[in-house]
Amino acid sequence: MAQIDGGIWQGKSVLVVDDYPAVRKTIKELFATMGLKVAEAANGVEALDRLKEHPFDLIISDLVMAEMDGFELTEAVKNSSKFRAIPLVILSTHADYKYIFRALRLGADDYLIKPPTAEMVNIVLARVFNHEW
């Protein structure tokens, strides 16, 4: 894959949370082309453990996962004084407004539908990192 706007996002760290390894790999590859450093977690519990180890610049989370889903993770992150400032974006196949509104009400900073395009990811990154697009 070619580098996509890597200068803007170069060095930002992202935690990708999804229960499917193939999805994590695809998202990781996309983000790597954008200059982002990517770590992975298979569910919300694992994500919270990873957050305790490293102060990520962004969390990208699926909704439907075992142990702790994306709604619960969003709520845990946004209710934590230590983690609440970290932007959290939901990345899901669920395009129904009920899922989107619930995630946003719980504090998600944005919502992307799978599979994300590089252009959509850039727009969301610009929004959460307060850059002009």
pLDDT of residue 6: 52
Domain that holds residue 81: 6-16+30-128
- For the chain, the residue count is 133
Please compute the mean of the pLDDT values over residues 88-95 and round it to a whole number.
Answer: 97
Contact 31, 43 (CB under 8 A): no
- Positive or negative CA dihedral for 23, 5, 53, 107? negative
If one counts the domains in the chain, the total is: 1
In a domain, 54, yes or no: yes
Q: Give the tokens for residue 54.
A: 């490293």
Kindly indicate the confidence band of residue 7, based on its pLDDT and cuts at 50, 70 and 90. low
Contacts of 100 (CB under 8 A, 6+ apart): 90, 94, 111
Structure confidence by residue, pLDDT tens digits, 23-41: 999 999 999 888 899 999 9
Q: How confident is the model at residue 100 (pLDDT cuts 50, 70, 90)?
A: very high
Q: What is the mean pLDDT of residues 97-102?
A: 96
Q: Looking at residue 66, which CATH number applies to its domain? A: 3.40.50.2300
Using the Cα atoms of residue 38, residue 43, residue 46 and residue 50 in order, give the sign of their dihedral: positive
Considering the domain boundaries, does residue 92 fall inside one?
yes
Q: What is the pLDDT of residues 45-86, one digit of tens each?
A: 999 999 999 989 999 999 999 999 999 999 999 999 999 999
Asked if residue 25 belongs to a domain, the reply is no
pLDDT tens digits along 112-122: 999 998 899 98
Report the pLDDT value the prediction gives residue 133, as an integer from 0 to 100.
46
Structure tokens at 75: 């709520």
Q: Tokens 């400032």 belong to which residue?
A: 85
By the 8 A CB rule, do 77 and 103 touch? no
Asked whether residue 69 is domain-assigned, the answer is yes
Phi, psi of 72 (to 5 degrees): -65, -40
| 23, part of any domain | no
Q: Residue 82 is which amino acid?
A: K
